[in-house]
Amino acid sequence: MENRTEVTWFILVGLTNDSQLQLPLFITFLLIYTVTFVGNLGLILLILLDSRLHTPMYIFLSNLSLVDFCYSSTITPKVIAGILTGDKIMSYNACASQMFFFANFANVENYLLVSMAYDRYAAVCKPLHYATTMTKRVCASLVIGCYICGLLNASIYTMDALSLSFCESNVVHHFFCDVLAIMTTSCSDRHVNELILVYLASFNVFFALILILISYMFIFTNILKMHSASGYCKAISTCASHLTAVFIFYGTIIFMYLQPSSHHSMDTDKIASVFYTMIIPMLNPLVYSLRNKDVKSAFTKIVLRSG
């Protein structure tokens, strides 16, 4: 039997060893995390405080903000602390936990985007039946289902990676415990494990994308039939923020995980990883709030009330 716990810690190489870049990176990541923290938790608080935002669309949005904050918090504070202190060591258990929680929240976001696409389909294509279609029970079931899917997938990803033996090198050429980066340090034959990872990730991503595309196919077909310019503009505005989030999220994930392993470059992967672990969680609340009249109205109302 192989001893897969021989390595008790991993050494994370990080983004760069250039000492001149450490301070700029520290300041940049700290600012990004601050905006992520304030943006996502602020949006959640805004939705909770304004009763006009207690609708399915904003219930999904508040959960998306929570997930963005959680999966950014799984990675970014450790990266910032590592740059500040120079500590690049992470224990085996801490690495496994980081891998699990990141995979969990990323998968929850994947399926939340699908649920939001269905919500937009119901709002645009069946406006008269929207209240009976997107009931609180349906909304709660979709949200709970997203979290269950996230937990199941994260368990498979983590067990798949940690079933390998780590007995030669414990140096991880990444700034966090990414599944692919951890697998490359293994001394086992990882061909089957990589296939499991790619097939499962492919299924989750493309299954979600197909459902989103089907929803938007019906949405755009319905929009083209509209004779009212105001109705047309309202429908486009309703979907614009969600579409932007979809393009950003899936574009990065496909680039990162669904290319052949022979085409992977660690430096390129690190840059892409910064984008989807730090930038996307910061962008989502900005994308949804800056283009949303209800959110801006609720924010103005709360500011005036507190003033």
Q: Over the stretch 137-183, which tens digit does the pLDDT of each residue have?
A: 999 999 999 999 999 999 999 998 888 888 767 888 888 998 888 88
Whichever domain contains 281, its CATH number is 1.20.1070.10
pTM greater than 0.85: yes
pLDDT (tens digit, 9 = 90+) per residue, 202-256? 899 899 999 999 999 998 888 877 766 666 676 677 677 888 888 888 887 777 6
Residue 54 in domain: yes
Q: What percent of the chain has pLDDT over 90?
A: 36
Structural domain contains residue 3: no
Fill in the DSSP letter of residue 263. Answer: G
Structural domain that includes position 96: 9-306
pLDDT recorded at residue 141: 96
CA distance 96 to 288: 32
Question: How far apart are the C-alpha atoms of 154 and 159, rounded to whole Å?
Answer: 8
Q: Structural domain tally of the chain?
A: 1
**Which residue type occupies 245?**
A
Q: Report if residue 1 sits inside a domain.
A: no
In a domain, 164, yes or no: yes
The rounded Cα 145 to chain-centroid distance in angstroms is: 16
Instruction: Flag whether 121 is in a domain.
Output: yes
Q: Are strands 9-12 and 89-91 parallel, antiparallel or unpaired?
A: antiparallel
The CB-side HSE value for 201 (13 A sphere, CA atoms) comes to 22
Residue 2 lies in a domain: no
What are the backbone dihedrals phi and psi of residue 206, each rounded to the nearest 5 degrees, phi first? Answer: -75, -30
Determine the pLDDT at residue 4. Answer: 46
In tens, the pLDDT along 90-113 reads: 998 999 999 999 999 999 999 999
Return phi, psi of residue 174, to 5°. Answer: -160, 175
Structural domain contains residue 258: yes
